[in-house]
Amino acid sequence: MAHTQKKMVPVWDRFIRLFHWGLFGFVAIAAATGFLLSPSWINLHIWAGTAAGALILARLFWGIWGSKNARFAGFIKGPRVVAAHIAELRTSKAPRHLGHNPLGAVMIVALLSSAVLLLFTGAAGLGGVFKTGPFGFALAYDFGRTALSLHELLAIALMVLVALHIGGALFEGHRTKDSLVKAMIKGRKEARIGDIETNDVMIRPFTVVFLSGGSLALLFFAGVWLSAKPPYGMPRAAPNPVYADECSACHIAYAPSLLPAQNWSLLMAGLDEHFGEDASLDEETAADITSWLIENAANTVDSKPAHMFSRINPDNPLAITETPFWKRTHLAIPDAVFARPPIYDNGNCVACHSDARSGAFYPANISIPKETSP
């Protein structure tokens, strides 16, 4: 008997394949940097999320004007059709779809919707908590913290959906004797009698490229413009050179936003017994520094460090390194690391945080230095 060559037909266009594997890669990077790696990887996490968002935006346009199997109107069905498809699967009578079947379409919508919500909650958390990104100018810390909590829940939900998506693809591939992974790589599947095809639509690549590119450019420049606006709740205190000179003689000049006003007042009133040292200043200088510290204390700033360090240790209300937040975030670092050069002391924040003097303490600016010769 002569060998009959299988007829292969195009199913997934080049953009869909690039979108699928690109989104998978960016989501994997975001998941690794969010769940497994330290906070210092936050910039890579943000870039992965931003790239995923750009892909999703382009996919939304392609879902309107793209090729027939990519067009949302061609494969998204109503609840009755989905329920009927599930019933057919139970009786092993479900037909083979060249494109997305009704249940697979539900998963696509769920994945894209979750990813979009994940992007917006991540951007809102970044703006509210870290005062950066396009929403940094408008969102308060408490709002950002809530957004980040929701962001984490959505990230877990997305991982569950991805697992279900992979499981569904394996099940469908086994049921129809197809290699769906291979089809998503090469873009072609075997044509068989009884296949259900998506309704054909006109391909308008120029329109898609124009609208996608224009929207991405608009969002990019809008994001750059909004990111440059002054962050919400972050007054830009003018430097106090007297404070910097006096405090830097013994340790770094800590940002005034790291202690509440009442604690700064208490600290400045006891300079003659300043952590075992006499750091007394003349009355005029002390008054000038005290006034500046109070005006820019933690209770006047909406940053994460200001909120966290405001929760002082009542047994030692003046030591930043004795606050619950400092202890919790440095719990995994051995005391020997703080003692070695060039750190020497756990209060030497600038050794590991390049932006410590500003009081920002952005996670990407953390780098524990290697030991050096004293």
- pTM for the model stands at 0.87
DSSP E strands: which ranges in 188-346?
188-190
Closest CA to 249 of 270, 278, 224: 278
- Which own/partner pairs from 135-144 qualify as long-range (CB within 8 Å, at least 24 positions apart)? 135/226, 136/226, 136/227, 136/229, 136/231, 136/232, 137/226, 137/229, 137/230, 137/231, 137/232, 138/232, 139/232, 140/232, 140/233, 140/302, 141/233, 141/302, 141/303, 141/304, 141/307
3-state secondary structure of 196: strand
d(CA 140, CA 233): 7
C-alpha distance from residue 346 to each of 9, 163, 193, 202, 359 (Å) = 65, 43, 72, 65, 16
Look at residue 207 in the predicted model and tell me its pLDDT.
Answer: 57
Look at residue 198 in the predicted model and tell me its pLDDT.
Answer: 74
10-residue mean pLDDT series, the chain (374 residues): 70 95 97 94 95 90 86 89 93 90 94 94 95 91 96 97 95 91 93 79 55 65 75 80 88 92 95 90 94 94 94 93 95 93 93 92 93 70
Show the CA angle centred on residue 346, arms to residues 254 and 365, nearest 5°: 65
Cα 73 to the chain's mean position, in Å? Answer: 31
Look at residue 247 in the predicted model and tell me its pLDDT.
Answer: 86
What sign for the dihedral angle of Cα 113, 158, 152, 329?
negative
d(CA 65, CA 330): 52
- Containing H/E element for 8? strand 8-10
Helix axes 261-269, 283-295, angle to 10 degrees: 170
d(CA 45, CA 362): 14
Length of the chain as a residue count: 374
| Cβ contacts of 161 within 8 Å, gap of 6 or more | 107, 110, 111, 114
Cα 155 to the chain's mean position, in Å? Answer: 10
Domains of the chain listed by start with CATH number: 8-227 (1.20.950.20), 241-365 (no CATH)
Residue with the two structure tokens 């990104």: 133
Q: For the chain, give percent helix, strand, coil, nearest 5.
A: 60, 5, 35
